[in-house]
Chains A and B, each alone.
Chain A
Amino acid sequence: MSRAASQFGIQLAPLVALAVGVAVPFLLDSYTTFQLATALSYLPALLGLVVITGLGGQIALGNGAFFALGAYTTGVLIKSYGWNELATLPAAGLLAFVVGIVLGVPSLRLKGHFLAVLTLCLAVVAPQLFKHFESITGGVGGLGIFLADPPSWVRIDATQRNYLIALAIAALSFASTRAVIRGHIGRALRAVRDNEAIAASLGANVTHLKVAAFAYSAALAGLGGGVFAIVIGFIAPDNFTLGFAALLIIGLVLGGKDSEWGALNGCLLVVGIPLYAAKIDQTASGLVFALLVLTATFLAPAGVVGLTRRLAGYWGGTGDAAPNRSANAHLTGLHDAGAAAGHCHEGK
């Protein structure tokens, strides 16, 4: 296949996916639409993790907290202030972004296990904070958001409308993350991940890059949380415990951690695996879930995306499937790291 044709193929794929996504609520039943909407609400958070953890190599276990923040922002704005649900979403993303910067600056000085542990503590503290400030969040009793049905002239029901909102946000996040991954910021992040000291010595402003990536992942998680609140209609602190943060990481890894398609696979897996496990055995679903995840990890440690790349490799496929592991690409990445530093200075 010629270079141009495969490039075209690569550009076409997201549009095809989008078309399929739009068709879904009108072809499939309400329950499946609801489940897919839930999965799509996780997609932005996973995309954010692809950027900070997959590309950036920083183990961020606390993004569940930003997800929760977004969910509560949407919930509170709708319930207590009567905002339109669509208007709350940018607010959710923006607030999460700001908090991401504030928390990111001190946190990202830490590396490796220390960062993982710090973000883990964030994930544990967040539900407690939401419980504590109950005059705003409704505390332990949770927050019910009852959205009215769409007006009858629109001819879609509430489930389909929620799904379409989720799809729109997911598509925007997907496009934006795709641009980041393939652009020079993505290459700069990979350079920092592979060898931070060299990247810094070549002029990358490592701190800015890391904080920017972290804040971006926080913003996406917040957006996803807002969508989640709309889709589910009820949020409580126990929705966002450590187990949720763990589920996100599992989805990220099993899907494929450094590709936007990996995030898409991941969000479907995050919803699909527990369902499948419950169908196999109700009472032992946790155990089946663990076994499924273990098996999947061993069969495909680089996720579904890694698996397809290996298969594509066996069939002699072309295209820019492989991540930049060649020496040239490495140097390009470092060069871009320096360029990105410049961008970071003026852009933020």
Chain B
Amino acid sequence: MKRTRSIAALSVLLMVMALTAARADDGITDDSVKVGSIVPLSGPAAPLSIYVRQLAAYLKYVSAEGGVKFGDGKVRKIEPIVIDSGGQPARALAAARELVEQQKVFLLASPHGTNENLAIVDYLNAKRVPQAFVNSPATIWGADADKHPWTFGFPPVPGTQVSILVSYIKNERPNAKIAILHANDQSGRDAVVALRRATADSAAQVVAVESYEFSDATVDSQIVRLAASGADVFIDYAIGRHALQAIQKAGEIGWHPLRLVETSTASSGAIKKLPPDAIEGIVSTAYAKDPTATEFKSDPAILKYQKAMAEYFGSGFDPTAQPLGALEAETLVRVFEATAAPTRAAFVAAARKLDHVDIPYLLPGIQVSLESSRGFPITQMQVIRFENGDFVRVGGVIYGPPL
């Protein structure tokens, strides 16, 4: 309650500041606005850089199609500038400084990586530059909003994902014995915390927890230990090739639990690299529309996305990847449409007032809400299950508490 009040007060304050200081900030003119982003174009997290590239391409497309009409009535084109962080927090800070001090961007949109964003959050908040829709599933972006009012996250945090997975598990196997494999990073740790919290008062129990490093060659050893625990449910919260190794190894040693995977493994198409009979029955969560799904093949938003990517993404576009970058870009556009003055404060005020907004790239029923969720834009997902060669949506949209 106290937090809602302080966030509301904050929003009001920002709005007042915004309206009284109507002189334009850096990076925004009457017909254009510069938006910066930081992304690991190289290094172990590079696979995830496609989403920011999608964002940049989508923004270029929108600009070419006429631009965005802001809340102050002016139509502006958006100019995205993307800098490589190499996955290193120190380089991310240098990139942030370059974007703010040299390129003079209006805001940072969807900078990628938890540690990279941690490295720049103090700097950006001190400089009062919005750090919008941070591409990191860390809980702090929503949880500590008072400490960094200029910063907010976007993807559903592990708390949301895991609580939704657990609600599925409780339905299917009420007395489940759960094993989890996670990366030894903040997101993985958050997942374990969320798992223990979600199973605290139920018949389902956590019986084994294993972690791995990104530099590990295989996770065979961890899978064997998980299997030896007698678990009948396996949450594969690994990402990238380790997620696939885990599934393959489990099958090889004859361990056939109920298997659930982290959302990006399912959504990025990685899991489909395994043969279909090996992944039959795997469960995951989703929040964005799958561009390869038959039901969305003629969806106007998906068609717009594909057109934008074809023209502006450049080499290496993966048509099976989820349009998460387009999702963030479209959300950014909505906030711009509500931004009443050409100032950063006005932008943040508009963003924090977002509530129950339908963005066409989200699955029907899921909405973006910053105000009522107190800092967590997406807290709903839908369960998906792999059946007969493709993922199908199961049940309805579920709310997963982020904290």
Contacts and interface: CB of A to CB of B under 8 A. Distances in A.
Contacts of B101: 29-31
Interface residues of B, number: 31
B119 A233 contact: yes
Interface string B71-89: 0000000000011101111
A7 interface: no
A286 to B, nearest CB: 5
Interface string A235-251: 11011000100000000
Mostly, the B contact residues are helix
B222 interface: no
A243 B114 CA distance: 20
Interface of B: 41-43, 82-84, 86-91, 93-94, 97-98, 101-102, 114-115, 118-119, 122-123, 184-186, 189, 213, 215, 314
Nearest to B93: A232
Contacts of B42: 285-286
15 contacts: A29-B101, A31-B98, A141-B115, A141-B189, A142-B119, A144-B118, A146-B122, A232-B90, A232-B93, A233-B119, A236-B119, A278-B84, A282-B82, A282-B83, A286-B42
Contact of B41 (A131, A140, A282): A282
A261 interface: no
B352 to A, nearest CB: 24
Contacts of B186: 140-141
A53 B210 CA distance: 41
B119 A234 contact: yes
Contact of A238 (B82, B89, B102): B89
Q: Which bucket holds chain A's interface residue count? A: 20 to 34
A123 to B, nearest CB: 12
B84 A142 contact: no
B276 to A, nearest CB: 33
Most chain A Cβ neighbours within 10 Å, of B43, B90, B122, B215: B90
A233 B114 CA distance: 15
Given A29-B101, A144-B118, A234 B83 contact: no
A14 B118 CA distance: 38
A142 B314 contact: no
Contacts of A34: 94, 97
Contact of B184 (A31, A131, A232, A278): A131
A142 B89 contact: yes
Contacts of A135: none
A73 B316 CA distance: 42
Interface in A16-59: 29-31, 34-35, 38
A128 interface: yes
Most chain A Cβ neighbours within 10 Å, of B98, B114, B115: B115
Contacts of B94: 34-35, 38
A141 B121 CA distance: 14
Q: Which 4 A-B pairs have the closest CB atoms?
A: A234-B119, A31-B101, A236-B115, A286-B42
Contact of A239 (B41, B90, B114, B213): B90
Contact of A285 (B84, B90, B98, B119): B84
Contacts of A11: none
B110 to A, nearest CB: 16
Contacts of A238: 87-89, 115
A30 B97 contact: yes
A146 B94 CA distance: 16
A283 interface: yes
Given A239-B90, A278-B83, A285 B41 contact: yes
Most chain A Cβ neighbours within 10 Å, of B91, B94, B122, B215: B94
B271 to A, nearest CB: 25
Most chain B Cβ neighbours within 10 Å, of A124, A235, A238: A238
A128 B90 CA distance: 18
A159 to B, nearest CB: 9
Interface in A271-308: 274, 278, 282-283, 285-286
A140 B186 CA distance: 6
Nearest to B184: A140
Contacts of A274: 86, 91
A234 B93 contact: yes
Contacts of A283: 41, 84, 314
A234 B96 CA distance: 13
B41 A142 contact: no
Given A141-B186, A238-B88, 14 more contacts: A31-B102, A128-B213, A142-B118, A142-B119, A232-B89, A232-B119, A233-B93, A233-B122, A233-B123, A234-B118, A234-B119, A235-B89, A238-B87, A243-B43
